[in-house]
Chains A and B, each alone.
Chain A
Amino acid sequence: MQGIDFQHAQSAHCESGVCSNLLNHEGLNVSEAMAFGIGGGLFFGYFPFIRMHGLPLITYRAAAGTIFKRFSRMPGFSLYRKQFRSREQAVVELDEALSRSIPVGLQTGVFWLPYFPKDMTRARFASGALAPKGKMYYFTQVPEQIEYQRLIADGIGFVRKMMLGSPFFLIGIKGIRFLANRLEQWPRKLGKDNADLHLGHVVRMQEEIGTGGGGFRFMYAAFLQESAEKLGAPALKESASLLTYSGDLWRQFAVIAARICKGRARKGDSYEAMAEKLRECAAFEQQVFSGLEQWLKAQPQIDIR
């Protein structure tokens, strides 16, 4: 098998980073934050009925595959995307693509990854909630130029719709408020130890490797700043500062949570105080996305979906 001359830039988040790396390989210079933004990667969802190791699913980003799916629907892009049932078939297809010098994006379960590459097939077929099912992706066609104006507006519109417009109470701003209400009741309902475990889990999901910090809020702010420069839109820059502020609030929440988890709670550290912080986050993000909605309305010929 011949090697592929592939420039890999380390990124904060997996999917946007892979997307950006693959696009760069095709000769399109797209930063990770930009791929994250126009791919509509930001999200909030609290799903207590999906359990991972007995803890509820909390996500700060869109489901794996969303960014690639959105890219594949943009004009000029086409994406080869395949999901496998058989492990053998998955390995054969991967080798075949690599032998044609095509860099490929793979979706894997993280637990098996330290044993890379021996157990890569194992990781591609990790079971459990949200199993990757051996998905692989590569671009078969990319445009020469990206119409930033349209794609950025589209990406922002997609995230705005999720954050503000969802009728479902576990998603977006409503989801953050719902989590705040539930979090307040954790010590009473679950007992102190289990409540602390749940709390630690929220912080892990928010800050773990792959989020770029602050539950992806900083990465999205980076995208808004980059867009503001590209389009000459100061309104986006304002939204970016507000979102950075919101990311800082998420981190303040995490600091209190970490102190409580470590059993070193200071005066004023309580589940109620943390719930209040989350409500503040929700209020800030509502402001951010309302601002972005106003900006979108001022854009020519773009329908807010």
Chain B
Amino acid sequence: METSFWDFVLSRPQGIIRHQASEEDVTGGIATVSYVAGEDGKQELKSGIMWYPVNIVNRQAWDEIDRRVELTREKIAAGKMSCLCYYMVINHMDTGLLAKYTGQSRLVVFLHTIPFFFKRLGVGTLQKYAEIFAVEPEDLRQGRLGPPVYDTSQGKQHAGH
């Protein structure tokens, strides 16, 4: 006999509600699997069950990134930062990480986040940055801020559980 959702919930020893949300949440449609205890307490692998607090905390992380993107945009508009900062934020990088990817020292990358030095960058260095961020060197030179590589609105509609 099929057990209903509420039977399943009430059979939990602690009665925590495990919400069966749509798979479109944070995974962008990729099914996830997790272990769920059955009625006899036996753990089984179940597909497509995303636990709702996960969406809330993931949403929180995206919101934080959005906030930092906005902050960086403002600072770039004010001429306090180079557009490198924007691409670093949307690619979840800091100066240390970008330095590692480009094979430069952290200090050099830090200097490139300052418009004065960034404007004077050579073709080769710009090319390096462009490759990492998957944009054209011309975009970097012109200071064009392309859209993020991912969709920051992911899971927005589901965060209301």
Contact = CB atoms under 8 A, between A and B. Distances in A.
A201 B58 CA distance: 9
Interface string B86-125: 0000001010010011000000000000000000000000
The majority secondary structure among interface residues of chain A is: helix
B13 interface: yes
A222 to B, nearest CB: 4
Contacts of A203: 53-54, 57
B36 A204 contact: no
Contacts, number: 112
B95 to A, nearest CB: 12
A109 B60 CA distance: 22
A219 B45 CA distance: 9
B64 to A, nearest CB: 6
B92 A244 contact: no
Contacts of A213: 34-36, 51
Interface stretch (B25-33, B75-83, B138-146): B25-33
Contacts of A204: 54, 57-58, 61
A207 B16 contact: no
Interface of A: 10-12, 32-33, 53-54, 111, 114, 127-128, 196-197, 200-201, 203-204, 207-209, 211-214, 218-219, 221-222, 225, 240-241, 244-245, 248-249, 251-252, 254-255, 257-258, 261-262
A209 B154 CA distance: 15
B31 A10 contact: yes
Contacts of B37: 218, 221, 244
Interface residues of B, number: 37
Given A197-B60, A200-B61, A209-B32, A222 B43 contact: yes
A188 B60 CA distance: 21
B35 A209 contact: no
B60 A261 contact: yes
A32 B27 CA distance: 21
Contacts of B92: 53, 111
B43 A33 contact: yes
Q: Which 4 A-B pairs have the closest CB atoms?
A: A258-B53, A222-B43, A218-B35, A127-B100
Contact of B101 (A127, A207, A209, A218): A127
A257 B57 contact: yes
Give the residue among B27, B43, B64, B97 with the most A Cβ atoms within 10 A. B43
Given A53-B94, A213-B51, A241-B41, A219 B35 contact: yes
Given A53-B92, A244-B43, A212 B51 contact: no
Nearest to B15: A248
A197 B150 contact: no
B56 A262 contact: yes
26 contacts: A12-B33, A53-B94, A111-B92, A114-B28, A128-B97, A200-B60, A204-B57, A207-B54, A214-B35, A218-B36, A219-B43, A222-B35, A222-B45, A248-B14, A248-B16, A251-B16, A251-B51, A251-B53, A252-B14, A252-B16, A254-B53, A258-B53, A258-B57, A261-B56, A262-B60, A262-B159
B47 interface: yes
A196 B60 contact: yes
A51 to B, nearest CB: 9
A209 B27 CA distance: 8
Contacts of A54: 94
Contact of A12 (B14, B28, B34): B34
A212 B57 contact: no
A199 to B, nearest CB: 8
Contacts of B57: 200-201, 203-204, 207, 254, 257-258, 261
